[in-house]
Amino acid sequence: EAEVAQSPRYKITEKSQAVAFWCDPISGHATLYWYRQILGQGPELLVQFQDESVVDDSQLPKDRFSAERLKGVDSTLKIQPAELGDSAMYLCASSLTRGNTEAFFGQGTRLTVV
């Protein structure tokens, strides 16, 4: 069964350092999402791609976060510099379209900033 792959699963970093997360969506899925989930809360959308284009990054803290999906396949989310408040689960998801199709989630990357 096809899955969304994310790496690493866990990351501990010191504040002010740079950190990057990688996501490989299900093959053929045009829409890719990055969400941030604080423990016990719902996922918050950071950025949404349609193929290689960003269609929504209104909640992305652009002074420190960046995301790219260069060939419209896999994607990287970067934080530089990391802050203590960035500690959270970072979830990647993909869907066939932006319409009536469900999103499939990866296992997530648990980030701890110390």
Partner 1 sequence: AQSVAQPEDQVNVAEGNPLTVKCTYSVSGNPYLFWYVQYPNRGLQFLLKYITGDNLVKGSYGFEAEFNKSQTSFHLKKPSALVSDSALYFCAVRDTKGSARQLTFGSGTQLTVLP
Kindly list the residues in this chain that would bind partner 1 in the complex (CB under 8 A).
Answer: 4, 33, 35, 40-45, 48, 55-56, 91, 93, 95, 98-100, 102-108, 110
From the CB of 105, what's the least distance to partner 1, in Å? 4
At CA 28, angle to CA 42 and CA 64, rounded to 5?
45
From the CB of 81, what's the least distance to partner 1, in Å? 26
Comparing CA positions, the residue from 34, 52, 57, 46 lying closest to residue 105 is 34
From the CB of 51, what's the least distance to partner 1, in Å? 14
Q: How far apart are CA 13 and CA 36, in angstroms?
A: 17
Q: Are 18 and 83 in contact (CB under 8 A)?
A: no
Instruction: Give the nearer residue to partner 1 in terms of CB position, either 27 or 53.
Output: 53
Instruction: Give the nearer residue to partner 1 in terms of CB position, either 78 or 98.
Output: 98
Instruction: Give the nearer residue to partner 1 in terms of CB position, either 45 or 81.
Output: 45
Q: Are 77 and 7 in contact (CB under 8 A)?
A: no
